[in-house]
């Protein structure tokens, strides 16, 4: 029996493939689109039984070629570019693709874990898994929102586990291919090593410089939550996947810089000291993001805790330090 991971060469998908390997699972079908060829590097240290393009996979799925052969599907494949303006492409790639896989899993009565997004909440301020709090701001968010609505309509007739995980701001290993969509921790790491300082946005919507707040969650925690649901196929639902604690972009910058300084034997600095020494600099808030930018996100994780997920989450300082050390090990 195969485990299928879509988006397997991507950020979260490749980490899930590696986590399955760590459990001794190697009968994995990795599905992705390698138009961006560099993503293959994310799978070099992973063991899989086969790779399939997204197009071939859907064709084979709908033709019944996987009937009776699959243990579970972890669906991470999507266009994650929130600035994408081609609505037809977004809906085909994120919505219809997901719907085909959902139908297969329900027909086959197998677990279906899929990536949703905190973007469905729009500007917030309430980030609870409930329809009245959802107001997507772009077509990417709408594609995730709409699929979650379809899932909700099917709860009463579902034949197997369905888990929607609304990822908040995920950062960590295997995201280097994402370019401008990579985490701020990744960008801060590269900026500081290249120029000796990092750039943050000036304040907006009542927030001070760099003080906008997001729920930053480590990829390590994201993997643990996915594995929890894989281990508990009786649990279904739509769940926020964040730490439950918002922290500022300043916090990420300070953690990144201090981790790099510590690696060189230099003392840690405060935010004020970094600003005084021009290690943190503030740039003009982009005009095109005004009114479309989440200045605050914070996952309500009560639903996740209620189903028994009790493990603590890494703070920004903890998770970023681990991530910086990982990145340094790759460039040394």
Phi, psi of 127 (to 5 degrees): -115, 65
Residue that has been written with the tokens 């949703």 in this structure: 116
Has 245 been annotated as catalytic?
no
Structure tokens at 84: 């994408």
Whether the CB-CB separation of 63 and 116 falls below 8 Å is answered with: no
Considering 18, 54, 178, 224, which one is annotated as catalytic? 178
Residue 272 makes CB contacts below 8 A (sequence gap 6+) with none
Has 178 been annotated as catalytic?
yes
Whether the CB-CB separation of 238 and 129 falls below 8 Å is answered with: yes
Convert 8-28 to b/e letters by CB count within 10 Å (16 or more is b): bbbbbbbbbbbbbeeeebeeb
DSSP string, 270-329: -HHHHHHTTSEEEEPPPGGGTTS--SB-----HHHHHTT-------HHHHHHHHHHHHHH
Considering 95, 97, 114, 140, which one is annotated as catalytic? 140
Alpha helices in 154-241 (DSSP H): 184-195, 219-231
Whether the CB-CB separation of 105 and 158 falls below 8 Å is answered with: no
Whether the CB-CB separation of 100 and 29 falls below 8 Å is answered with: no
Closest CA to 262 of 324, 186, 173: 324
Residue 229 makes CB contacts below 8 A (sequence gap 6+) with 111, 113, 161, 163, 165, 235
DSSP 133: G
Phi, psi of 32 (to 5 degrees): -165, 175
CA atoms of 321 and 101, how far apart (whole Å): 37
Residue that has been written with the tokens 């197009």 in this structure: 55
Catalytic machinery residues:
140, 178
């Amino acid at each position: 029996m195969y485990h299928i991971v879509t988006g397997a060469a991507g950020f979260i998908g490749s980490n899930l493939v590696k986590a399955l390997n760590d459990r001794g699972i190697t009968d994995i079908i990795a599905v992705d689109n390698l138009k961006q060829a560099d993503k293959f590097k994310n799978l070099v240290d992973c063991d899989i039984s086969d790779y399939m393009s997204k197009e071939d996979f859907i064709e084979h799925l709908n033709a019944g070629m996987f009937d009776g052969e699959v243990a579970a599907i972890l669906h991470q494949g999507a266009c994650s570019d929130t600035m994408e303006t081609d609505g037809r492409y977004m809906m085909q790639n994120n919505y219809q693709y997901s719907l085909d896989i959902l139908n297969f899993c329900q027909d086959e009565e197998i677990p279906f874990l899929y990536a949703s997004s905190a973007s469905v909440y729009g500007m917030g301020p309430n980030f609870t898994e409930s329809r009245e709090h959802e107001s997507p701001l772009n077509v990417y968010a709408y594609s995730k929102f709409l699929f979650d609505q379809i899932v909700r309509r099917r709860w009463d007739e579902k034949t197997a586990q369905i888990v929607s995980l609304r990822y908040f701001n995920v950062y960590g290993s295997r995201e280097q291919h994402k370019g401008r969509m990579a985490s701020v921790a990744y960008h801060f790491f590269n900026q500081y090593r290249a120029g000796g300082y990092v750039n943050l946005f000036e304040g907006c919507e009542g927030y001070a410089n760099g003080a906008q707040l997001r729920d930053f969650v480590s990829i390590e925690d994201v993997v643990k939550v996915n594995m929890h649901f894989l281990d508990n196929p009786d649990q279904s639902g739509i769940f926020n996947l964040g730490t439950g604690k918002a922290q500022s972009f300043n916090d990420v910058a300070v953690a990144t810089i201090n981790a790099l300084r510590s690696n060189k034997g230099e003392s840690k600095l405060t935010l004020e000291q970094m600003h005084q020494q021009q290690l943190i600099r503030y740039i003009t808030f982009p005009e095109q993001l005004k009114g479309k930018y989440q200045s605050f996100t914070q996952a309500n994780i009560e639903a996740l805790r209620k189903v028994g997920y009790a493990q603590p989450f890494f703070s920004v300082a903890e998770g970023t330090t681990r991530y910086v050390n990982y990145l340094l090990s790759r460039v040394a």
